[in-house]
Chains A and B, each alone.
Chain A
Amino acid sequence: MPEITYREAVRDCLAEAMRSDPDVFLMGEDIAEMGGSMGVTHGLVDEFGKERVRNTPISEAAIAGAGVGAAIQGMRPVVEIMYQDFITLSMEQIVLQAAKHRYMSGGQIKVPLTVRTQGGAGWSPGAQHAEQLEGWLCHVPGLKVAFPSTPEDARGLLWSSIYDDNTVVFFEHRTLYPIKAEVSDTLEPIEFGKARVHREGSDVTIVAIGRLVHVALRVAEQAAEEGISVEIVDPRTLLPLDEDSIVNSVMKTNRCVVTHEAVTRMGFGAEIAAIVQEKAFDYLDAPIERVGSRFTPIPFAPVMEEYVIPHEEDLMAAVKRTVARG
């Protein structure tokens, strides 16, 4: 099995989709010659030309909205919002247009648009280039939301996003682009709403998304050395959500820690906690813990940034508190 980076996984999927389907095309800021600010689309303009790898002005509303309009005509545009912080400038088109056309039209219209975006802290860009806003999008009926944590999942979920007849907001994490992992020989689409259990365990379930999946894997290793058996469930798509896999895991381990890089308050983890207590209340031996960023903007000074975002020791502490309650 070949080993590729998360960045290459996204690029390979885009290339394969464009090779096989003239309706797939890309729009975004600096995505052509520059290959995007993260280099994800590097080289694609050489193969597919500027008609299909379209550099746009810095106009996030028009980028998303042009995607909406082209998608309604049956094309399968993939638009890139350079940083997810800037998706705030596209929110009207994503939330009020893309997500609602189908519903408001009584089912006449489909909007098969994919909005790729990336972000995440850990490199001191300050407060406007490092937020995690997946929770905002998960609050919108009509949208789907994917947040892959591995190359295999990035490739397979992006394919499914492109071929979904709904608008998908596809979150990539900046710090995951260089990670390398084995992928299957050929691109395997991954169905939405199916979690991946990265590690089986019996004492506590960690539900992790994005970068925190990798943090959780390291924490599980440490915990094992201390005799704590951790199970890691990565929902991969937040909307739709594989509730069963999460609930079944908690029914087995009787404990649950939820972790993501977004701020804890009103974050995606709050929804997971609510679902778990509703569906597995009698199985819980400890309160559900949430590990996310502190409720501040992302600060610049590395020492402060480090303090705000969640790390292995935060997750480890939550695991230990949870297990101690048994």
Chain B
Amino acid sequence: MKLEEATRLSGETLLSFLEEMLLIRRFEEKVEERFRAGDLSGFLHVALGQEAVAVGVCRTLETDDVIASTHRAHHHCLAKGMTANALMAELYGKVEGCSGGYGGSMHLYDLANGNLGANAVVGGGLPGIVGAALAFKMRRQPRVAVAFFGDGATNTGSFHESLNLGQLWTVPAVFVCENNHYAESTPSRDHMPIADLTRRAEAFGMRSIVVDGQDVEAVHAAATEAVAHARAGNGPVFLLANTYRLTGHYVGDPQVYRPKGEQRDLRATQDPIPRLRELLGVDEDSWSALETKVAATVEASVEFAKNGTDRLPEDALLNVYA
């Protein structure tokens, strides 16, 4: 590998990114499989194609930096330090799950690793991130709060109120927009009167950075800059990562709204994983070793989850109040 010459990150680091992205990919595919097999309840949104955004951003963060995620959260959770076991066990509704079986796919929490929760309300996590960042600022802690959200969320009042307040109070927050070009089924052109989302941040005087969300190295570089800006007390940054959802909105989505062939074309041209593999020049042997390792982790998580402890029905009455 002659990567060190071309990039600021070492080949070793990028290889670890590749492994993490592949773990997310295989984890998500397993989730689809177990859902179709009838193992999993509820409503599942997988992040196939968006792995590089989660890994590139979260690998710039310290453990005590915090994130808020969205309904599509598995990639953020794994990238912010949650184990595959804890995540899969949650999807199975077990005591050992990251939310003890109280949350499910759209409510994944891992406070110890700075994960303040997936959020099933589009835009719902943003005001809380402003508040977390405000707390860091008031306590003079050098910590950063990061909100993940999609292009669809930029149409919510919460988005606009949060960016306005965050910028007004120069809190150490980074607003990461995973622009996957669809709000559920509605393409951007049908839900936004502008094409350039950075204009929304600029309206608040907020610094914006745009990045190719399928290039993990670029995401990492952009996030490093954004996080440093926020951590230094210069206020929030709007980080626009253009990405693609290589699957439906939810597991089972027939995607009738997609132009014919779009998904196939995106998988061929916009998949961040083969792209990084190619960049790193990972040969067949190394690749299959990586696949084997990742598959073992994913399989182990399914076993762990299946063997986990079931909740008692009346456990539903716990944890309502502190």
Whether B102 and A66, one on each chain, are in contact in the complex, defined by CB atoms closer than 8 angstroms, is no
Complex CA gap A69/B273 in Å reads 34
- The answer to whether the Cβ of B15 comes within 8 Å of any Cβ in the partner chain is no
- The answer to whether the Cβ of B138 comes within 8 Å of any Cβ in the partner chain is yes
Chain B: number of interface residues, binned into ranges: 35 or more
Within 8 A of B (CB), among A92-116: 92-93, 96-97, 101-110, 112
Q: Mark B163-196, 1 if CB is under 8 A from A, else 0.
A: 0110011000000000000000000000000000
- The answer to whether the Cβ of B84 comes within 8 Å of any Cβ in the partner chain is no
Rounded to whole Å, the gap between the CB of B123 and the closest CB of chain A is 9
Whether A68 and B320, one on each chain, are in contact in the complex, defined by CB atoms closer than 8 angstroms, is no
Whether B124 and A92, one on each chain, are in contact in the complex, defined by CB atoms closer than 8 angstroms, is yes
Complex CA gap A62/B319 in Å reads 26
| Neighbour of B111 across the interface among A104, A108, A144, CB < 8 A | A108
Instruction: Flag the segment in A51-59, A266-274, A295-303, A305-313 that touches B.
Output: A51-59
A contact residues around B132 at 8 Å (CB): 69-70, 72-73
| Neighbour of A110 across the interface among B107, B128, B322, CB < 8 A | B322
Rounded to whole Å, the gap between the CB of B63 and the closest CB of chain A is 15
- The answer to whether the Cβ of B289 comes within 8 Å of any Cβ in the partner chain is no
- The answer to whether the Cβ of B318 comes within 8 Å of any Cβ in the partner chain is yes
Within 8 A of A (CB), among B141-163: 145, 157-158, 161-162
Instruction: Flag the segment in B93-101, B274-282, B300-308 that touches A.
Output: B93-101
- The answer to whether the Cβ of A212 comes within 8 Å of any Cβ in the partner chain is no
- The answer to whether the Cβ of A242 comes within 8 Å of any Cβ in the partner chain is no
Closest chain A residue, CB of each to CB of B137: A51
Whether B158 and A106, one on each chain, are in contact in the complex, defined by CB atoms closer than 8 angstroms, is no
- The answer to whether the Cβ of B17 comes within 8 Å of any Cβ in the partner chain is no
Whether A57 and B168, one on each chain, are in contact in the complex, defined by CB atoms closer than 8 angstroms, is yes
Closest chain B residue, CB of each to CB of A62: B161
Number of interface residues of A (CB under 8 A): 43
Whether A56 and B165, one on each chain, are in contact in the complex, defined by CB atoms closer than 8 angstroms, is yes
| Neighbour of A69 across the interface among B97, B121, B133, B169, CB < 8 A | B133
Complex CA gap A72/B127 in Å reads 12
Q: Mark A60-90, 1 if CB is under 8 A from B, else 0.
A: 0110111111111111010000000000000
Whether B103 and A106, one on each chain, are in contact in the complex, defined by CB atoms closer than 8 angstroms, is yes
Closest chain A residue, CB of each to CB of B141: A73
Complex CA gap A59/B131 in Å reads 13
- The answer to whether the Cβ of A120 comes within 8 Å of any Cβ in the partner chain is no
Q: Mark A138-176, 1 if CB is under 8 A from B, else 0.
A: 000110100000000000000000001110000000000
Do A57 and B131 contact each other (CB < 8 Å), given the known contacts A103-B320, A107-B100, A166-B322? no
- The answer to whether the Cβ of B49 comes within 8 Å of any Cβ in the partner chain is no
Closest chain A residue, CB of each to CB of B112: A108
A contact residues around B127 at 8 Å (CB): 61-62, 64-66, 68-69, 93, 97
A contact residues around B168 at 8 Å (CB): 57
Q: Mark B102-141, 1 if CB is under 8 A from A, else 0.
A: 1100010111000011010100101111111111101100
Whether B111 and A109, one on each chain, are in contact in the complex, defined by CB atoms closer than 8 angstroms, is yes
Whether B138 and A141, one on each chain, are in contact in the complex, defined by CB atoms closer than 8 angstroms, is no
Do A69 and B165 contact each other (CB < 8 Å), given the known contacts A105-B109, A109-B111? no
- The answer to whether the Cβ of A6 comes within 8 Å of any Cβ in the partner chain is no
B contact residues around A141 at 8 Å (CB): 320
A contact residues around B135 at 8 Å (CB): 69-70, 73-75
Closest chain B residue, CB of each to CB of A79: B131
A contact residues around B129 at 8 Å (CB): 69
A contact residues around B124 at 8 Å (CB): 92-93, 96-97
Q: Mark B280-322, 1 if CB is under 8 A from A, else 0.
A: 0000000000000000000000000000000000000011111
Whether A97 and B164, one on each chain, are in contact in the complex, defined by CB atoms closer than 8 angstroms, is no
- The answer to whether the Cβ of A25 comes within 8 Å of any Cβ in the partner chain is yes
Interface centre among A57, A61, A64, A77 (most CB of B within 10 A): A61
Rounded to whole Å, the gap between the CB of B51 and the closest CB of chain A is 24
Rounded to whole Å, the gap between the CB of A207 and the closest CB of chain B is 23
Whether B319 and A68, one on each chain, are in contact in the complex, defined by CB atoms closer than 8 angstroms, is no
A contact residues around B321 at 8 Å (CB): 102, 142, 144, 166
Whether A142 and B109, one on each chain, are in contact in the complex, defined by CB atoms closer than 8 angstroms, is no
Rounded to whole Å, the gap between the CB of A162 and the closest CB of chain B is 14
Complex CA gap A26/B168 in Å reads 16
A contact residues around B130 at 8 Å (CB): 62, 65-66, 69
Whether A67 and B131, one on each chain, are in contact in the complex, defined by CB atoms closer than 8 angstroms, is yes
Complex CA gap A131/B269 in Å reads 56
Complex CA gap A108/B157 in Å reads 28
Rounded to whole Å, the gap between the CB of A37 and the closest CB of chain B is 20
A-B contact pairs, 24 of them (CB 8 A): A51-B138, A57-B165, A61-B157, A66-B127, A66-B165, A68-B128, A68-B131, A69-B133, A69-B135, A72-B116, A72-B128, A72-B131, A96-B124, A97-B127, A101-B109, A102-B320, A104-B107, A105-B102, A105-B117, A106-B98, A107-B318, A107-B319, A108-B110, A109-B111
Given contacts A65-B162, A66-B127, A109-B117, 10 further A-B contacts (CB under 8 A): A25-B138, A57-B161, A65-B128, A70-B131, A75-B138, A97-B128, A105-B111, A106-B101, A108-B99, A108-B111
Query: Which 10 pairs of residues, A with B, have the shortest CB-CB distance?
Result: A65-B127, A69-B131, A106-B100, A69-B128, A62-B161, A165-B322, A66-B131, A73-B135, A105-B109, A104-B107
